[in-house]
Chains A and B, each alone.
Chain A
Amino acid sequence: MTSNRLPLRPLEFLVLAVLEDEPLHGYGMVQRIESLTGGVVRVRPGDLYRVLYRLEKRGLLEPSPKDGHDRRSYYGLTALGRRVLREEAEVLRRVVAGVGVTKKASPA
C-alpha cells in the first residue's frame, strides 16, 4: 500500500521528516523545518495545518498523547507514515545522486 502514497509533495515530505524522531506540535514542526533546511523553507501555519489534515486523513500520521497540561496537539508518524517516509527518502537519495551539481561538488 505504501507505494500508492508516493510521490509526496515537498511539504508533506518535510513534515514526515521532522516527525521521524519524536512527535511534535505545530509550532515545533515549523521551527524544525526551518532549522533542517537552513532557514530556506519557512512554513506558513495555514499550509502546515492543511498538510497535517491531509496526511492524517491518509493515515500517515496521528495525534499523539500530550504530556501534562500542554494545550497544543502533538502529532507522530504511524507505521505506514514511517514506511512512506523511508521509501520517499530512498527515491530522493537516488534523485540527488543523479543531479550534476552534487556530482561535481563531490571530490573526484
Chain B
Amino acid sequence: MNPRRVWIRALLALYPESFRKVHGPDLIEMYSSLEVGLLGASWDLLQNAFRVRLEDAIDHTRPSCPLPPREHSTGLLDGLAQDVKGSLRVLRSRPAFSAVFVATLALGIGANTAIFSVVNWVVLRPLGFADPDDVVRVWWRPDSFNQRILVFFQERGSSFSGLSGYSGWGFTLVGEGEPEELSGAVVSTNHFSVLGVRPLLGRGFAPEEGEPGRTDVCVLSEGLWRRRFGAERGVLGRRIRLAGAGRTSCAVVGVVADAEATLDAFGPRQAFLPLERAVDLEKDESWFLSVVARLKPGVSLEAANAEVKELSRLVRETMYPRTSAEDILSARVERLQDAIVGTEVKGQLLLLAVAVALVLLSACFNLAALLLARYGERECEIAVRSALGAGRGRVLRQLLTESTLLGLAGGVLGAGLAAATSRSLASLLPPELPRTEGLAADANVLLFALGLSVAAAVAFGLLPSLRASSKSGTLALRRGAASGGPNGQRLHRGLVAFEIASCLVLLTAAGLVLDSFLRLSRTDPGFDAESALVAAVSAPDGAYPEAVQKRELHQALLQSLASIPGVDEVGSIHILPLDSSNWDFPLFPEGSVLLPSERPPRANFRVVSPGYFRAMGIPLLEGRELTGADREESSPVGMVNASFARAIFPGESAVGKQVRLFRPDGQSFEIVGVVKDVRQHGLALEPRAEMYRPFEQWSLGRNEIVLRASVDPASLAPSVRRAVAAVDPNLPIVRLSPMSEIVAGSLATSRFVTLLLAAFAALALVLAAVGVYGVASSIAISRRREIGIRMALGSTSSSVLRRMILSGMVPVLPGLLAGLIGSRAVSQILLTLVPNLRPWPPAGVLLVASFLSAVALLACYMPARKSSRVDPMTVLRLD
C-alpha cells in the first residue's frame, strides 16, 4: 500500500466518524491524485479535522438552538422598532419571569414615586402667589414685630414693594349652624395687594378699614366659602359672627383662593380680619406681628438681607435702645416657601427619599442578578447573533431595549400604584407636615416615575447586558452555569455586597430613629396624661363681652363639669402643653437691674384655674397652689415652674418674690408656689421657664378644661357635652379628646418617619436576603459537579455544607464593613434631623450587623444544605 495513502488515512482518524464515513474515501482519492506536498496535505487535514470537530461541538451543545431573526441594520428608528418587537416577543415568551420582574420593580418605583409626590407637593410646588419667589418672610426676633417697627420698615425699606404684618388668630364661626373653630389671621390692610392676591370674589381690605372702629370686615377663604356658605355670591356684604375676633360681627368683603390664603406652616387661613392701626405708635405694645413682604423686581435676597440688618440697626438707634446685637444679627429675609417648609421637614423628607431610593437600588441589583442568570440561559441565542455578524453594539442594544421595556412596564405600574394609594398616603401624613392639603400627583411626579424607570432599567440592565454582549462574556456564558461563569459571579457578589451595605445602613437608621421615638414616647412630659380628658370651650365674644361675665361663665363651667360622676378633678389652662401656640412675655424680676442694652428675660405665660395642677397631675414643689381665694380684688399672685425659679432666682427661693411683666414699671404679681416642669413645646424639647396666673385675675374667653377621671376619659364625652350645654347651649366645644391622644399626636411626625424607615429597612432586609440566597444558590448550581466529586471522594456532607456556606458568605463581609462606615456617616446626618437621637452606638450597630449576618447565613444555608444532601451519583450523571 502507498505510504502516502496510509498517512492520509491515519490523519482521517482525527475526523468524527460521521464525517469519515461519508467523505473519507473521496478525500483519500483527491489527495492521492492532486499535486500537493505531504506536509501541506497533513496541515490541511489536521486543521480541518479540528475545525469540523469544533463546529460539531458547538452545534451539539445547542442542538435545538432557535436561530435569531435576520438583522436588517438600516435606520435607527427601524432598528428601534425591530428591537422593541423582538424584545416584546422575548418577554412574552417568559411570562412568569416578566411578571415577577415587573411586579418587583413596580413596588420599588411605586414607593419612590409616592415619597416623591410628597416631596414634590410639600417642598417643590411653588406657592400660590404670583411670582412666588419674590414673596419673603421678614424675620427679626421670631414673631416679634410691632406696628411701630413695621411702619418704619414700610417707610424706609427700599428693597420691598410692600410689607404686611399679620398674626395668626383662632376664631370660632358661630350663628351659622354648628359652631366651627377656624384658623384665621389678622393682617395689615395692604396684605392682599402686597402679595398680589386677586380675590375670587369681592375685594381685599381698603386702607381705612384698619382705622379703629372700622375693622368689622372680613375676607374668607374659598374652602370655607364653599363649605359653609354654599359658594353663594350673595355672601358679600353679609355679616357673620367670628367669636374670638373682638368684633361683634364682620361684613364679608371678599373671598380668596386657598392657595393664596397661606401665610406660614399652619396651612391656608380660613378667615382674615384687618389689623387695627395703632393710634399712638410710640406706645404700641402689639409685639405679636409676623411680617411677609414682596421684593421689588430684581432685588436679590442678599441685598434685602443687608437692608433689613441696616434697618434693624436704625431701629435700635432711633426707637428701641434695648435691642440687642443678636436681634440685629438675627434680622433677615427668607423666601416664604423656605420659611414654610423648614430645613427639618426638608431633611426628614430627604431622609425618607434616600431610604426608599436605596430600597429601589437593592431591588434593581437583585433584578440585575436575575438578568445575569437569564442571559446565561440565553447564551446560545446571543452567541448565534454574534456569530451571524451582529456586532457587540447591536446585541447590547437589543438587551438594553428589553430591560428598558421591563423598566417602563414597572414604571407605569408603579406610577399607577402611587396614584392609587396617594389618598391613603395623604391620610398617613403627620398633621404637622406643612402644605399637605390637596396632595396630588402632577406632571412632575409622572416625569419622575418615567425618569426613575429608565434609570432603574439602566441600573439593572447595563452591567448584565455589557457582560452578555462582550465576546469574553459569551465564552464565559458558554462555560459557566446559570449565573454566567466566574466573572458573572464576581459581579453578582459585588451587587449583593452593596445590598448588604445599604441594608445595614437602613437598619441602623431605622433602629436609631425607632430608639429615639421609643424614648420620646416614654419621656416624662411632666404631667400625667392617663385618665385626663381635655375639653376646649370658647365663649362667643358678643355673648360674654365683660371680663366679669367671662369669669362667671368659666366658674360655672368648671363647677358643672366637676359634678359629672367619675370626674375627680377639674382645672383649666388657656394654652395646653404640646400646643403649637405660645404666649411668652418679657419680665422684670424684683430687685434686678438691667443695662439699657440688655434684653429682659422672657418666660412662657399661662392663665390657669386653681385646680389645673391637680387635674393635670403636676406636683407642687414649693409654696402653695392657687386657690379660689385668689380673686380679682385680692393681691395679684402667680406660680412659676422649676426652670423659672432656677433661671430667674438662682440659689434662692422664688416663693414670695415679685415679678413685673412687659416693662420695668409694668403690673406685678407675687410668686406663691413652684411646680414641676412640663414639656410645653414637644416631648423632645427641654421645658422652658413658665409663669401661671389665675383666671380670676386675667380673664380670657377661651380655655382648655382638663378633667381627671377615675373612669375611661373617652367615655365621659357625652356627659361633658351635657354639662356644657347645661351652662349655655350655644357654647361651642371646639375640642374634646383624651390628653393621651394629644400627647400621641405630638409624636405624629416621629411616628411617620419611624414607620416608613422601618418599613424600608424591612424591605431592604428581605431584598438582601434574597440577594444572598441568589448568590448561594447560583454557586451551588455551578459547583454541583465539584460537590458530587468531592462527596464521591469521601467528603462528608457537613464539610461540603461548610464550604458552600463560606463561599455564599463571601460578599457579606465587605458589605458589612461598607455598611458600618455608611451607617456611621448616616447617623451623623440623622443627628441634625431627628430630635433626641443618640449618636451611632457601636454596640447597637454591631448587634444589627450580627442580626443581618444571621439572616445572610440562613439565606446561604438553605441552598447549601440542599446541595450537600444530594446523592453524588445523581449529580455526576446529570452532566
Contact = CB atoms under 8 A, between A and B. Distances in A.
Nearest to A51: B48
B1 interface: no
Q: Is the interface of B mostly helix, strand, loop or mixed?
A: helix
Given A50-B52, A53-B22, A53-B23, A45 B389 contact: no
Given A49-B23, A73-B22, A27 B30 contact: yes
A60 interface: no
B44 A47 contact: yes
A59 interface: no
A82 interface: no
Given A26-B26, A53-B19, A3 B55 contact: no
Contacts of B233: none
Interface string A1-24: 001101100000000000000000
A45 B27 contact: yes
A49 B44 contact: no
Contacts of A4: 67, 69-70
Contact of B48 (A25, A50, A57, A72): A50
Contacts of A27: 29-30, 33
Interface string B12-40: 00000001001101110111011010001
Contacts of B49: 46
B44 A46 contact: yes
Interface string B29-65: 1110110100011001101110110010001000000
Q: Is the interface of A mostly helix, strand, loop or mixed?
A: helix
A71 interface: yes
A86 interface: no
Interface in A28-70: 30, 44-47, 49-50, 52-54, 57, 63
Contact of A46 (B47, B67, B69): B47
A45 B30 contact: yes
Given A4-B67, A52-B23, A53-B22, A47 B30 contact: no
Contacts of A26: 23, 26-27, 30
B23 A54 contact: no
A30 to B, nearest CB: 8
Interface in B508-540: none
A6 B69 CA distance: 10
Nearest to A4: B67
Nearest to A7: B389
Given A6-B70, A27-B33, A53-B19, A73 B48 contact: no
Nearest to B42: A46
A72 B29 contact: yes
A46 B45 contact: yes
Interface in B809-838: none
Interface string A64-99: 000000011100000000000000000000000000
A107 to B, nearest CB: 31
Contact of A45 (B19, B22, B34): B34
Given A4-B70, A27-B30, A54-B55, A47 B23 contact: no
B44 A53 contact: no
A44 B51 CA distance: 14
A63 B23 CA distance: 11
Contacts of A71: 25, 29
B642 to A, nearest CB: 90
Contacts of B69: 3-4
Contacts of B55: 50, 54
Contacts of A47: 44, 48
Nearest to B51: A50
Contacts of A7: 388-389
A45 B51 contact: no
A44 to B, nearest CB: 4
Nearest to B384: A4
A53 B389 contact: no
Contacts of A46: 27, 41, 44-45, 47-49
Contact of B26 (A3, A25, A50, A54): A25
A42 to B, nearest CB: 10
Contacts of B59: 57
Interface in B734-775: none
Nearest to B67: A4
A72 B26 contact: yes
Nearest to A2: B70
Contacts of A3: 69-70
A57 B56 CA distance: 10
Nearest to B68: A4
B369 to A, nearest CB: 32
A3 B69 CA distance: 8
Contacts of B33: 27
Contacts of B23: 26, 49, 52-53, 73
Of the listed residues A26, A27, A50, the one surrounded by the most CB atoms of chain B closer than 10 A to its CB is: A50
Contacts of B44: 44-47
Contacts of B29: 27, 71-72
Interface in B767-813: none
Nearest to A27: B30
Given A7-B389, A45-B44, 14 more contacts: A27-B33, A44-B40, A44-B48, A46-B41, A49-B27, A50-B48, A50-B55, A53-B19, A54-B52, A57-B59, A71-B29, A73-B22, A73-B23, A73-B26
What 3 A-B pairs come out closest when comparing CB atoms? A46-B48, A46-B44, A4-B67
7 contacts: A4-B69, A26-B26, A45-B41, A45-B44, A46-B49, A71-B29, A72-B26
